[in-house]
Structure 1
Amino acid sequence: MDSKRKPKSHPNEDICDMLNELANYENNVKRDVHRSRAYRKAAKTLSDLNYRVKSGEDAIKLPGIGKSIAAKIEEYLNTGEMKKLNAARKDDHFAIINDLTRVSGIGPVFAKELMESGITSIEELKKNIHLLNHHQKIGLKYLNDFEQKIPRSEMEQMEKFIKKVAKEIEKNIIITICGSYRRGLPESGDIDVLITDENSHNYLNLLVEKLTNKGFITDTIAQGDTKFMGVCKLQNFEKHRRIDIRFIPFNDYYCGVLYFTGSQMFNQEMRRHALEQGYTLNEHSLRKLGSTGVPGEPLVVASERDIFEYISFPYKEPSERNW
């Protein structure tokens, strides 16, 4: 790994790193899921901004940031540190669990079990690989690669390659790369692919087979009838990347596209607004609520815009959903 300090990917990256570290502490050591989620939500809000927050007063005006977190942001901006994080970093258990949970597939409960069995570092984990399941072994194998963000230019090449291979199977196949990539952000954590066609033919396993034969998919973590989880790498590129491919029936597809595009906060606002308008919205369907509050049959949705129109929500381009 390059020893030079990497350039910031967004103006609030240092603040987000600290909030995410606090989120890990609350989740992994204190087991406080709600507080952990609050820190992570605040970090996500700040990461989507194209400007630097100047104070806690600025921060508290943003969605998902309350008084307590705004005060910590103010403290950091004034002093360069957060006292609560300094205290957390002195907790030996936190450092060990935080290190072990870097591995994909290892959660805080199993990390604690490993720690109690005497495994306190990634290096020791490598010597005890027999304790890991298939997913965790792959996570350990590609740990350094998975921790590196994927530049947009690489995502574009992967999208082009996946769509080209898919068209070899069926020319009318529909492929959408979702997540932060679809929202136009410069980096992504992984590749999230949705697949369907207008007749709801499920080409998932055939696509995975062809991508594997062409050397793009290098490892399988899990594979079922509707979802594949694995690892991929473009030819002439160094790093392996996490990839998920989901088949979604055509009638559910655009609800799925909306959901997996995100952001999480934008999805929450859409669902809240839908309920106010008398609908229920999730990743599978949009349904009208009856007089008793029971959802009716799924409405016909042939595009994302249909969803916005049904619930009278102004259409937002994916690049406008970075809340």
Structure 2
Amino acid sequence: MMSQIPVKKKRQRQSEPTLPTDLEDCVCFPEVVLCLVEKRMGSSRKAFLTTLARRKGFCVEAANSERVTHVVSEGNSGDEVVEWMKRNGSRSVDAAGSGPALLDLSWFTESMSTGRPVEIEPRHCLGVSVQAESLEDRCQVSPYACQRRTPLAHKNQVLTEALETMAEEARFCGSEGRSLAFSRAASVLKSLPWTVRGVKELHFLPCIGEHSRKIIQEVLEDGTSTEVENVRQSERYQTMKHFMKIFGVGVKTASQWYQEGLRTINDLQAHHAKLGKAQQAGLLHYRDLNSPVKRSEAEAIVQVVQKAVDQFLPGASVTLTGGFRRGKPSGHDVDLLITHPVEGQEVGLLSKVISWLDSQDFLLYHSTHRNASQALEDQELSVSMTAMDRLDHCFSIFCLNYPHGSIKGGSRAWEPGYELKDPGDATLWKAVRVDLVVAPYSQFPFALLGWTGSRNFERDLRRFSKHEKKMVLNSHTLYHTEKKIFLSAASEEEIFQHLGLEFMPPEERNA
């Protein structure tokens, strides 16, 4: 009988330690999500580094994750990393390298050594060169502002402020061409859906001249432009800017005062500078007219004017235009457009409204300009006239009363803009610049488009009409110069259709 040989028990293999399935439980730095680039790193090394990072409390995800904030590469250029990320399904990295930080392995190594994400320094970053084709694929930029959507908030504020300072200085010097060049460059940057990070991107953008490019490069590299700062600090620029804040004062008058040695408002008074009625009113209410007008204040003025209009022409409408129609929460003036659905009923309305407002002490100053032109059909040679040339309009300084009372009974002795300490105190009122415009109903869409702005948008819209469509557009009509016909429109949308343009809502006309 054979002896029974005991069966040898198989030695149980110890299971390898496994990582937690819920990685979020051991993530110490949730704001940092890593992606390791396998190219040149290799799959084995990538797996080792991934395990190391996770043990240190870092989150590591694949290239196609939208949560990735830091892309780590070994031995690749920034362009190669961008290409690899795109091939592996990333939608957060574009051809310009914007999105997650593109980092050399040195950042990863230092972070692992310290046990936390170290601060990103220039030596850690991988450079990306922008390719013309990829930038054009990302965003086609039109040279015309009327073909660019420009919201109020944009991503290149510091750059546009620098260019707009240069545009303003050029205008103060009487150089309209140079001013327009800087203004157009700023307008292009406002429309970009991305933040400009390098001068190479400027090469593919329209309307960016050499001088503008130099300013932008300085700001990008140094955080500021020496030339722009010198302008802002110059006595002439500051004085011109100060004088032109006075209602009724333009470049010519401000420049003349500067040449005469005047520098401040006190100088104007001490030297008895000759002032027109508008300038006198502007000087008297200087502080109010240079404080922002809130939307609620603008709407309160609309209600007062609508009340006046209703007394003389029921059914007439009062529309708030300008920056408020483009979505601005505040502005420096209030533009109102008045019309009536029955053509011709609006004739003579403005003078009646102004007389009533004045009799009720709502007007501190006003200057009315009557429409003295012929019918549009007889005005073919002058269809290029500007927005206010042939519309009844009034430039005024409005007395906006606050709920505590009216300005009657000597309350004008209060200084404009006076802040009440006690709600029960005397009347509070504020001087506000208000422009009233009356348009015939058939011209209302054109007037509404013209008075909504912005200035750059309107300028380019008319330039596009002339150069691309052989048409002349103003605040009265649209005229085809080759067909010799006026094109009617019942809305702004129809005007855009005539011009073959995609309709741009007011909120996206902040060029």
Which residue of 2 is the match for residue 28 of structure 1?
172
**Equivalent in the alignment of 1:6:** none
1:102 Cα deviation from its structure 2 partner = 2.8
Pairwise CA distance, 1:145: 2.0
Distance of 1:84 and 1:272 partners within structure 2? 31
AA aligned to 1:20 is E
Instruction: State the alpha-carbon separation in 2 of the partners of residues 79 and 218 from structure 1.
Output: 48
Q: Which runs of 5+ in 1 are unaligned?
A: 1-8
**Equivalences for residues 165-244 of structure 1 within 5 A:** 165-197=308-340, 198-200=342-344, 201-202=346-347, 203-220=349-366, 222-225=367-370, 226-236=392-402, 238-244=429-435
Of 254, 259, 262, the residue aligned with 2:445 is 254
TM-score w.r.t. structure 2 length? Answer: 0.54
Alignment partner of 1:271 out of 441, 462, 465: 462
Structure-1 residue corresponding to 2:230: 87
1:223: how far off? Answer: 1.5
Check the 8 A contact 1:60/1:67 in 2, yes or no.
Answer: no
Q: Give the corresponding residue for 2:473.
A: 281
Assess if the C-alpha contact under 8 Å between 1:26 and 1:33 holds in 2: yes
* Alpha-carbon distance, 1:123 to partner: 1.6
1:115 corresponds in structure 2 to: 258
Residue 257 of structure 1: how far off its partner (Å): 1.0
Are the equivalent residues in 1 in contact too, given 2:167–2:182 (CA < 8 A)? Answer: yes
Deviation (angstroms), 1:14:
5.2
Q: TM-score, normalised by structure 1?
A: 0.81
Q: Which moved more, 1:309-318 or 1:254-263?
A: 309-318
Name the CA distance, whole Å, in 2 between partners of 1:132 and 1:168.
36
* Offset at residue 48 of structure 1 (A): 7.4
Instruction: Evaluate the alpha carbon distance shift between residue 280 and residue 157 of structure 1 in structure 2; reply closer, same or farther with a 3 A threshold.
Output: same
Give the aligned partner of residue 299 of structure 1.
487
On the 8 A contact 2:400/2:432 being kept in 1, the answer is no
Q: Distance in 1 between matches of 2:166 and 2:283?
A: 23
Q: Quick check: 60-69 or 32-41, which moved more?
A: 60-69
Give the number of the structure whose alpha-carbon radius of gyration is greater. 2
Q: Distance in 1 between matches of 2:312 and 2:205?
A: 46
Please, which moves more after superposition, 266-275 or 300-309? Answer: 266-275
**When the two structures are aligned, how many residues end up with a matched partner?**
310
- Alpha-carbon deviations, 1:19-50, whole Å to 9, x = none? 33322322223x32211223334445666789
Moved more, 270-279 or 134-143: 270-279
Matched-pair contact (CA < 8 Å) for 1:228–1:246: yes
Structure 2, gaps ≥5 residues long: 1-152, 371-391, 403-427
Q: 2-side partners of 1:179 and 1:53: how far apart? A: 29
Matched, 1:146 2:286: no
Shift of the 149–21 alpha-carbon distance from structure 1 to 2, 3 Å rule, reads same
Q: In 2, distance between residues paired with 1:204 and 1:85?
A: 44
Cα 1:90–1:288 shift into 2, 3 Å: closer
SS in 2 for 1:240: strand
Relative to structure 1, the CA distance from residue 272 to residue 115 in structure 2 (aligned partners, 3 Å threshold; closer, same or farther) is: closer
CA distances 1:269-310 after superposition (whole Å, capped 9, x unpaired)? 43345443453322221123335xxx32x2332222221232
Q: Aligned partners of 1:38 and 1:69: how far apart in 2?
A: 8
SS of alignment partner, residue 401 of structure 2: coil
Structure 1 pair 213/17, CA: closer, same or farther in 2 (3 Å)?
farther
Contact 1:60 1:66 in 2 (8 A): no
Q: Partners in 1 of 2:291 and 2:300 — Cα distance?
A: 17
Partner letter of residue 209 of structure 1?
Answer: S
The RMSD of aligned alpha carbons is 3.1
Alignment of 1:9-48 (within 5 A): 15-29=159-173, 31-43=174-186
Distance in 2 (alpha carbons) for counterparts of 1:267 and 1:189: 19
The match for 1:135 is 278
Read off the aligned partner of 2:482 and give its amino acid letter: G
